[in-house]
Amino acid sequence: MLNRRTFLKASAAVIPMTTAIHALDPASALAAEEVAAAAVSGQPPQLAPLPPRLAPLSLAAEPWQQKIRRVGQSNMTEHDPAVMNIEEWADYWHRADAEIVFISVTGILAFYPSKVKFHRHGKYLNGRDFFGECVTAAKNRNMRVVARMSPDLNWGDALEAHPEWAMRTKDGSVQFSGEEPRLFKTCMFSTYMDDYIPAIMREINSLYDVDCFYTNGWPPLGSLPECHCAICSKLPAASTPAYWRAFNDRVFELWEKYDTIAKEKKPDSFFFANLGGNVRGGPNLDRLGKIAAWFQADNQGRTYDDPAIWGCSLQGRVCNAIMDGKFAANVTAAYSTGSPGWRNASKSPDEAKMWLNETLASGMIPYYHFIGSEDGFCEDRRWQKVGADFFRWTAQHDAHFTTRRSIADIGVVMGQSTQLLYPGPATVRSRAYTHETTQGIYDALLRGRYAFDFVHEDRLEPERLRQYRALLLPNVAMLSDRQCRQILEYSQAGGSIMASFQTGLYDENLNERAEFGLADLLGISKAGDVIGTNGNAYYARIEAPEANPQLPLLAGFHNTNWLAGAENRMPLKPVQNPLLTVVPGFVRYPPELAYPPVPRTDVPAVVLREMGPGRTIYFAGDIERTYWLTGHGDLLQLLHNAINWITRDERILSVEGEGFIEMFCWETAPGYAVHLLNYTNPNACHGWLQSIHPLGPQIVRMKLPQNLRVQSIELLQAAQTLPFDQRGELLQFTVPRITDYEVAAITVI
Ligand SMILES: [Zn+2]
């Protein structure tokens, strides 16, 4: 019988067990038994201790929105005043335990008898106060109300009177909606935003009792506007760092203005806006997190461009990085996202539910959304049960879903500037480039079952980084001198670093440095410009001098002298005792010429350093992105080996078992909540989940703070209590099965 340590080594040498995706793989089943046997025999797992628990918070002192746990929206259409049964609408959300609903004021079409000029009444309104009737129906059921506006589009009469309100193309012509050419796009720098939108907000405040205001369609998500109107022509060129600063200044000027107007009637009212865009965001997420009372993630489902099932969780990690526990909700579209789309037809229940699961698991508030009460309550009613069942289930367990903080000890630096502004290396100019990098590191972290958080590039202060034993910088190309210094100080304080490719090669203005910004820290020096691939990509030759202490990086590689490299690489000056060296790329076709003319160089493919407790590792190639593009196992194994090496093979949370899962662990008021999402599915990266493929036992281990006793563990989906084993600080239990999602709610005393 293997003991646990030797077992882990042996399994790592073959393939990390957690990367096995096949639910019925007999090797995995055997491995799980071995692990269980080793654990029973008392072998200590390699666990890092959890931090001491936070002091209890007084809920009474929290703003009202912090207590909201469920958000509902039937997104109203122009036709709804003619056909919607308001009582039925309000009853649905009330019975589903929604505590707040969105009701449309809009700005494109008024849902009430607005007197604001150019606020066109919907053609089925007929003088009726539809908005007011909806507000009354919601308030009668003790639901709060968000007044929803749309400042992004307006009609020809407004354009005629105010040509300066329109976004313009380079040749000066007006930008119109792609789908409805009668609507022009409004420019966020124009007085449309200073005059027209505030007039509507003040009118609403004067007529109704709403709890807060929201703008849909502004600011833009994940990209920056390109407008050539008279005002914008004087701004820095679109998509440059200087433009982004001007854009941010304008967003936050308007945000504060609208927030002040919201508070004119009720001090606890506020303004919030359409957000999302994952790590790209739109507005600077650090600044946003400091002023926003509500992060509204308009991240409603998978799209053609973004087909991975974990898109909602990824957004949740972004919110966790910037909101510091303040309210964040993610919208789940009950209708079909993707292209072409059917905005008024339900998506598959498994798909919708997984998006809701991810919302909750990643620490956000579930928000369920369907278009048009007409269609939603008459033509297609399939969406209703999915959302209502999920909402009612969460309502039974609110205490366990109210997160206090993530316990993760690996931080992934989300370089928002890089994501928005860096166009990729000279060899690949593509907006998809940074997205592919993000997906590569994310996928690799999930398959390795690491507990990790995102950390915003503008939040690298030591107090925040102290939680993390390692920081990962997946080609974070743009870093300011200050950010480089903060990363250096983190390393000097004992933190470990993994970085790749062009990390720190550019400053915050996208000016290329003569040398990497982290050159001294990582022990690297640039020897030329980026080298791409034409045919065969480069290889990484294994140079393994005897007794090389860095050999754990090569765990699992046998019977080969080289490994796959990456699509693009930065040439480096030689280092002492390189572990992997570059075999330059060569011809792939014709096969007659597919051999390396230069079989060996002294150019490092990876550089490792060890300084006190901290370790650093730098990959010269864009390894995360190339892994995402190819799925090559060498790259995945290298990333896992690198993370294991810099974290000294210790984990703050260990979940072992078969399958492809995503996991979160939160400190909660009752104790802890371990969330396990089952992505083991043929549709994990394409299409919708059409059915669920349940997983077998998952062994969970963690090392609790001293003097903490576990009172009980409950599985919230299976609705059963679990036996557990606590010896001193070590806690172990087995989740016997995961269908789509399971939450182990740990209560401590
Ligand atoms: Zn403009």
pLDDT digits (tens, 9 = 90+) for 106-143: 999 999 999 999 999 999 999 999 999 999 999 999 99
- Residue 233 CA, ligand 1 centroid: distance in Å: 7
pLDDT for 544 equals: 76
- Residue 192 CA, ligand 1 centroid: distance in Å: 11
- Report, as an integer, the average pLDDT of 88-110: 97
- Residue 176 CA, ligand 1 centroid: distance in Å: 13
pLDDT for 434 equals: 97
- Residue 174 CA, ligand 1 centroid: distance in Å: 10
- Residue 151 CA, ligand 1 centroid: distance in Å: 14
Cβ atoms of residues 466 and 422 within 8 Å: no
- Report, as an integer, the average pLDDT of 474-495: 98
Question: How many independent structural domains does the chain possess?
Answer: 3
- Residue 275 CA, ligand 1 centroid: distance in Å: 20
- Residue 232 CA, ligand 1 centroid: distance in Å: 4
- Residue 297 CA, ligand 1 centroid: distance in Å: 25
With a cut of 50, say whether residue 13 has pLDDT above it: no
Residues 438 and 554 in one domain: yes
- Residue 220 CA, ligand 1 centroid: distance in Å: 14
For residue 553, give the nearest of 564, 542, 566 by alpha carbon.
542
Is 185 part of any domain? Answer: no
- Residue 164 CA, ligand 1 centroid: distance in Å: 8
Q: Which of 402, 425, 457 lies at the terminal end of a domain, its last residue?
A: 402
- Residue 228 CA, ligand 1 centroid: distance in Å: 6
- Residue 222 CA, ligand 1 centroid: distance in Å: 18
- Residue 742 CA, ligand 1 centroid: distance in Å: 48
- Residue 274 CA, ligand 1 centroid: distance in Å: 19
pLDDT digits (tens, 9 = 90+) for 258-287: 999 999 999 999 999 999 999 999 999 999
With a cut of 90, say whether residue 7 has pLDDT above it: no
Residues 316 and 291 in one domain: yes
pLDDT for 372 equals: 82
With a cut of 70, say whether residue 625 has pLDDT above it: yes
What letters, b where the CB count within 10 A reaches 16 and e where it falls short, cover 14-36? ebbbbbbeebeeeebbebbebbb
Identify each DSSP E strand in 347-451 by its residue range.
365-371, 403-406, 410-414
Residues 579 and 710 in one domain: no
pLDDT digits (tens, 9 = 90+) for 17-76: 333 333 333 333 334 344 344 433 444 449 999 999 998 877 678 999 999 999 999 999
pLDDT for 373 equals: 73
- Residue 246 CA, ligand 1 centroid: distance in Å: 12
With a cut of 70, say whether residue 6 has pLDDT above it: no
CATH code of the domain in which 505 resides: 3.40.50.880
Is 564 part of any domain? Answer: yes
- Report, as an integer, the average pLDDT of 603-609: 97
- Residue 428 CA, ligand 1 centroid: distance in Å: 30
- Report, as an integer, the average pLDDT of 533-552: 84
Please give the DSSP secondary-structure letter assigned to residue 448.
Answer: T
- Report, as an integer, the average pLDDT of 564-573: 98
- Residue 219 CA, ligand 1 centroid: distance in Å: 13
- Residue 227 CA, ligand 1 centroid: distance in Å: 5
Band of pLDDT at residue 3, cut at 50, 70 and 90: very low
pTM metric for this prediction: 0.93
pLDDT for 432 equals: 95
- Residue 331 CA, ligand 1 centroid: distance in Å: 29
Is 667 part of any domain? Answer: yes
Residue 588 has phi, psi (to 5 degrees) of -100, -35
Residue 469 has phi, psi (to 5 degrees) of -85, -15
- Residue 229 CA, ligand 1 centroid: distance in Å: 4
Is 550 part of any domain? Answer: yes
Is 586 part of any domain? Answer: yes
Q: How far apart are CA 35 and CA 30, in angstroms?
A: 9
- Residue 497 CA, ligand 1 centroid: distance in Å: 42
Is 182 part of any domain? Answer: no
pLDDT digits (tens, 9 = 90+) for 494-532: 999 999 999 999 999 999 999 999 999 999 999 999 999
Residues 422 and 378 in one domain: no
- Residue 259 CA, ligand 1 centroid: distance in Å: 23
- Report, as an integer, the average pLDDT of 219-231: 95
pLDDT digits (tens, 9 = 90+) for 332-348: 999 988 888 888 899 99
- Report, as an integer, the average pLDDT of 389-414: 97
For residue 145, give the nearest of 105, 88, 197, 91 by alpha carbon.
105
With a cut of 80, say whether residue 151 has pLDDT above it: yes
pLDDT for 502 equals: 98
pLDDT for 340 equals: 87
Residues 624 and 660 in one domain: no
CATH code of the domain in which 719 resides: 2.60.40
Q: How far apart are CA 100 and CA 424, in angstroms?
A: 42
- Residue 190 CA, ligand 1 centroid: distance in Å: 7
pLDDT digits (tens, 9 = 90+) for 711-734: 999 999 999 999 999 999 999 999
- For 99, the domain range is 65-151+202-402
- Residue 186 CA, ligand 1 centroid: distance in Å: 8
pLDDT for 547 equals: 57
pLDDT for 305 equals: 82
